[in-house]
Amino acid sequence: MSPLYPLKFKTIYKDKIWGGQKIKTYLHKDFGSLPNCGETWEISGVKSDVSVVADGALKGQSLADLLEHYQEQLVGKKVYAHFGNTFPLLVKFIDANDDLSIQVHPNDELAKKRHNSFGKTEMWYVIEADSGSTLISGFNQQVSEKIYVDKLNSGHIMDILNRENVHAGDVFFLPAGRVHTIGKGLLIAEIQQTSDITYRIYDFDRVDDKGHKRELHTQEALAAIDYNYYPDYKTKYRPEKDKTVQLVKCPYFTTNLLDFNESTSKDYSHIDSFVIHVCVEGSYVIECQGGQHTVKMGECVLLPATVKRADLITIDGFKILESYVEL
């Protein structure tokens, strides 16, 4: 019998110039004396910020230690064979009290060459949105590198960017190379490749509390950007109660939405992967391997690959993002 069980980790809180208070007021997560919390890292294998188990028999152990010790029992045979002792996903909550910088992330090939890192493909699920909130994803027209550079240098970069009106429940998939920013008033759950590489393109000429502008990565971004125009940037899906609805399926992760008023059972025997639950609404109890684990809004839980069946017992209804890796 594996000693592994559904794992919660200690939240890592990040102070950001654009952060706000919704992590505390909406998700009920206490970030202490930080003036503003822009991000929480809920499950992370990034070397500078490795998650630590919050409770149970493995409390205090790091995700890196667990992966090294339990290997395929934790993440699955194929996942371990492919990624080794690197956990492949990073899960965050993001509270934008102001617009984030306009940015882009490199793909695997470029990130490996420049940083010996994975690239950064990601997805956003909008938990809460202030009235009139927007975000930027991609270009609103076909552009070339020259057109992009001319617009950037002349101060008119916003003219060619695609701005979307945003509401709770919206989903955006952002492959590496897509220029983007999260807009003011949005609370988002983010699921992404394990990478912390961001090329900042434009930061609205903001300064920090010492009067300094943040570093831009103008040259580095040029080779990373996908200059193509796409007709649809928002992910289309049909919400359904008490069913598993697929939101995103890509080489790096599959993410489903579970919006349930009833209790349900999940069969994970066909998935050769760990499974992550991100609870964005309500609360429930996970029953598996003879144990019970309560999960509430704002919490994330990692189900090891040894969990092949789990009963999800509703407390007051729940909405979960369910993610795993299919290789």
DSSP string, 116-138: SS----EEEEEEEE-TT-EEEEE
pLDDT at 212 over 80: yes
- The CATH number of 12-222 is 2.60.120.10
Q: What is the mean pLDDT of the chain?
A: 97
Equal fold, 12-222 vs 244-324: yes
> Which pLDDT band, with edges at 50, 70 and 90, does 307 fall under?
very high
Give 142-156 as a DSSP string: ---HHHHHHHHHTT-
The pairs formed by 239-246 with CB atoms below 8 angstroms and a separation of 24 or more are 239/169, 244/322
Averaged pLDDT, 51-73: 98
> Which pLDDT band, with edges at 50, 70 and 90, does 227 fall under?
very high
Q: Which residue has the tokens 């490996």?
A: 112
Greatest CA span in the chain, whole angstroms?
63
The pairs formed by 167-170 with CB atoms below 8 angstroms and a separation of 24 or more are 167/126, 167/129, 167/133, 168/126, 168/127, 168/128, 168/129, 169/125, 169/126, 169/239, 170/125, 170/126, 170/129, 170/234, 170/235
pLDDT at 326 over 60: yes
In the chain, the percentage of residues whose pLDDT exceeds 90 is: 96
What CA–CA distance (Å, rounded) separates 239 from 167?
A: 14
> Which pLDDT band, with edges at 50, 70 and 90, does 1 fall under?
low
Of 2.60.120.10, 3.40.50.1820, 3.40.50.360, 3.30.465.10, the CATH number of 244-324 is 2.60.120.10
Which DSSP symbol is given to 119?
A: -
Cα 58 to chain centroid distance, Å, stands at: 24
pLDDT at 214 over 60: yes
If one counts every other C-beta atom within 10 angstroms of the C-beta of residue 149, the result is 14
Averaged pLDDT, 13-22: 95
- Residue ranges of domains in the chain: 12-222, 244-324
Q: Which residues are catalytic?
A: 200
Q: Write out pLDDT tens, residues 93-131.
A: 999 999 999 999 999 999 999 999 999 999 999 999 999
> Which pLDDT band, with edges at 50, 70 and 90, does 208 fall under?
confident
pLDDT at 217 over 80: yes
